[in-house]
Structure 1
Amino acid sequence: MILLRSLAYQVFLMLSVALFGGAIAIVGRWVPFRLLSRVARIWARANLIALKSLCRLDYRIEGLEHLPTSTCIVMSKHQSAWETIALRALLPVEHTWVLKRELLDIPILGSALRRFRVIAIDRSAGRAALKQLVTEGQHLLGTGHWVVIFPEGTRVPPGERASYNVGGALLAQRSGYPILPIAHNAGVFWGRRSLIKRAGTIQLVIGESINSTGKSAQQLSRETESWIEGVVARLPTRADLQRSPAQSD
């Protein structure tokens, strides 16, 4: 049953990307950014509803009161594809992403992503990529866009850790904008490169903003990593620990 549910959602996801992504790619250049972002939010919320309906995969948020009213740099744990959908649905519409440049080569999706003023990084470019992140990030922050960064740079399975890249912290240090840390356990339910979506409730925790004033990039990176990994360590690491009888197959 879990495989059938997962396949059904996968079909929904692909069709929704084709429909929304195709529309955004075609008309995006003539549509205001804010309106495009609202359309993307509808897509993301539709996918969260589909996950709950088809896969019985829900989520719970802790710390909504910590969402700032002003521009910030979001640094989130990266375990799954789920958070790329959920953050689009949950964050203010005026936000954009730091992502790997290869995503822009994906048919339909890549064309749609280009409409959202993303910071597309060549991860092999070293210092040039870091400079690009800081330069473009400062410009976007200055125009009122939140910037979303996955500091690990790739999806990391639950129970494992990867080094945090300093790019997001350097952007915070250079720009003076605060960091909003986000932790979750989405990988427990929707694994890296996995078709299976397990029933249960993903826990997402939003932390208090980390002030960047007077701190080095290394200090900001350590502070962000310590908070995120500390919260992740206390979240359930098995899907069955959060499943109710109604969610059982």
Structure 2
Amino acid sequence: MALLRSLLHLLWMIVTVIPWGIIMVVASIRVRGNPLYWMAARWLGWAIDGARVLLGIQVRVSGMENLPVGETSPAILLVKHQSTLETFLMPTLMPHPLAYVFKKELLYVPFFGWAMGRLDMIHIDRSQGSQAFAKVVAQGKELLARGVWIIMFPEGTRIPRGKQGTYKTGGTRLAVATGAPVIPIAVSSAKCWPRKAFIKRAGVVDVSIGQPIPSAGREPAELMREVEAWIEAEMRRLDPEAYR
């Protein structure tokens, strides 16, 4: 049954992403900024709805009251990364548009990547080193000033359930450079949607949003240690079986 459910969800994703990607590219000729972003978020909502209906994956969120209020209040979201689920899920939860920081190679993914290329995202060429980060800071400041929140996965890649990756300081470096607070977020997605697994399982995915951590006067490495400590402690609370 889990295999059949997973096949149906994959079919749902493929059937919906092709027309969505085409519509996004065509619409971007006339529509830009936040209206185009919310058009994109609508397809992500379809993907999450498909996971709920076809896969039996429910999402339980706590800590929404910790998010900054105000139309242009800045925030940098640093999220635990276990699967594709949280990549799709976060824009459906957040009250502000999100700008992902991602490698430029994703722009070449048919339909999905083409649509992403029309949005206000931060795509980087990792081979450029320090120049790539300078671009992240410049674009980050501009987007934050417009009320767009930046989202990053500090471990850099999807981490297996019950494991801890290496937390890189890119997100906290950006926070210190822009003065934006950091919002740590723990996600137990691998309970239902494991890393690199085709077959997904029914269950509940918990999303826990921590309190904002000010970045003013902080050192990026020290700030990231605080983010890491909160996320990893929260992961053990959300999914204790995985950390026995």
TM over 0.5: yes
Q: Map 1:97-116 to 2 at 5 A.
A: 97-116=100-119
After TM superposition, the runs of 4+ consecutive aligned structure 1 residues lying more than 6 A away are: none
Kept in 2: contact 1:29–1:115 (CA 8 A): no
Change (3 A) 1:136 1:28: same
SS of equivalent residue, structure 1 residue 220: helix
Report percent identity of matched pairs: 38
Deviation at 1:54, TM superposition (A): 0.7
Kept in 2: contact 1:133–1:167 (CA 8 A): no
Deviation at 1:238, TM superposition (A): 5.9
Equivalent-residue separation in structure 1 for 2:126 and 2:241 (angstroms): 32
TM-score normalised by the chain length of structure 2 = 0.93
Aligned to 2:53: 53
Kept in 1: contact 2:25–2:114 (CA 8 A): yes
Q: Map 1:84-233 to 2 at 5 A.
A: 84-233=87-236
Change (3 A) 1:192 1:124: farther
Q: Map 1:6-17 to 2 at 5 A.
A: 6-17=6-17
Indicate the RMSD between aligned Cα atoms, in angstroms: 1.6
Aligned to 1:31: 31
Aligned amino acid, residue 86 of structure 2: E
Pick from 59, 77, 80 the counterpart of residue 74 of structure 1: 77
Kept in 1: contact 2:91–2:97 (CA 8 A): no
TM-score normalised by the chain length of structure 1 = 0.91
SS of equivalent residue, structure 1 residue 30: coil
Kept in 2: contact 1:37–1:93 (CA 8 A): no
Deviation at 1:39, TM superposition (A): 1.4
Deviation at 1:77, TM superposition (A): 0.7
Deviation at 1:126, TM superposition (A): 2.7
Q: Which runs of 5+ in 1 are unaligned?
A: 240-249
SS of equivalent residue, structure 1 residue 116: coil
Deviation at 1:92, TM superposition (A): 2.3
Aligned to 1:19: 19
